[in-house]
């Protein structure tokens, strides 16, 4: 069964490499976006879908990277390409996901020895996720401010009607 998991991880890494390459090719102008509303989308119509798929492939990269010394350089290049593609896509949720992935690795109680042996890699992932997320907050200020306004209005509505709510159609 371990071999099957490793085959799945390799498939995820190859998928991530292909999607990341496609996205970077859009960035350098070799390929066009799939959606006129977004400059970079990867192979999908929505950049957020592409970014979430790439984020979900990161644990496979890390697992194989830490266990297979023979292909470490290739895996490092693939993982770096994935991070470049994530920066191009500018999906904050993907970087929040990377942070959650790193925290789950750190909080996994059965892996304390593993964490001690690979602390630098995990700290690096956390730093990349936090810095990238903070950078994207400054690049998408209209979106960030719009979301903050929605949250503020939502909290005010909850304060006004904490038990029964406001009803359908009142948040417009």
Q: Cα 117 vs. chain centroid, distance in angstroms? A: 24
DSSP string, the chain: -HHHHHHHHHHHHHHHHHHHHHHHHHHHTSS--SSTT-S--TTSSSHHHHHHHHHHHHHHHHHHHHH-STTHHHHHHHHHHHHHHHHHHT-HHHHHHHHHHHHHHHH-GGGHHHHHHTHHHHHHHHHHHHHHHHHHHHH-HHHHHHHHHHHHHHHHHHHHSTTT---TT---
Q: What pLDDT shows up at residue 156?
A: 84
Task: Pull the structure tokens for residue 130.
Answer: 């936090």
Q: What pLDDT shows up at residue 54?
A: 97
Q: What pLDDT shows up at residue 99?
A: 78
Instruction: State pLDDT tens for residues 28-41.
Output: 999 999 899 999 99
CA dihedral 18, 19, 23, 25 (to 10 degrees): 20
> pTM (2 decimals)?
0.70
Asked whether 27 and 88 are in contact (CB, 8 A), the reply is: yes
Task: Pull the structure tokens for residue 91.
Answer: 């999906």
Query: Residue ranges of the chain with pLDDT lower than 70?
Result: 1-3, 106-119, 121-122, 125, 136, 140, 170-172
């Amino acid at each position: 069964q371990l071999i099957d998991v490793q085959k799945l991880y390799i498939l995820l890494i190859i998928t991530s490499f292909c999607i990341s390459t496609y996205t970077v090719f859009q960035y350098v102008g070799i390929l066009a976006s799939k959606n006129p509303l977004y400059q970079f989308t990867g192979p999908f119509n929505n950049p957020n879908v592409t970014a979430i798929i790439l984020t979900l492939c990161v644990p496979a990269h890390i697992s194989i990277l830490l266990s297979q010394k023979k292909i470490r350089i290739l895996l490092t290049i693939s993982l770096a390409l994935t991070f470049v593609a994530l920066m191009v896509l500018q999906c904050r949720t993907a970087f929040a996901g990377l942070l959650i992935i790193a925290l789950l690795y750190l909080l996994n109680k059965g892996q304390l020895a593993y964490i001690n042996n690979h602390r630098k890699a995990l700290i690096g992932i956390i730093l990349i996720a936090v810095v990238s997320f903070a950078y994207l907050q400054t690049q998408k200020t209209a979106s960030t401010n719009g979301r903050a306004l929605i949250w503020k209005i939502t909290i005010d509505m909850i304060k006004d009607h904490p038990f029964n709510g406001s009803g359908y159609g009142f948040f417009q």
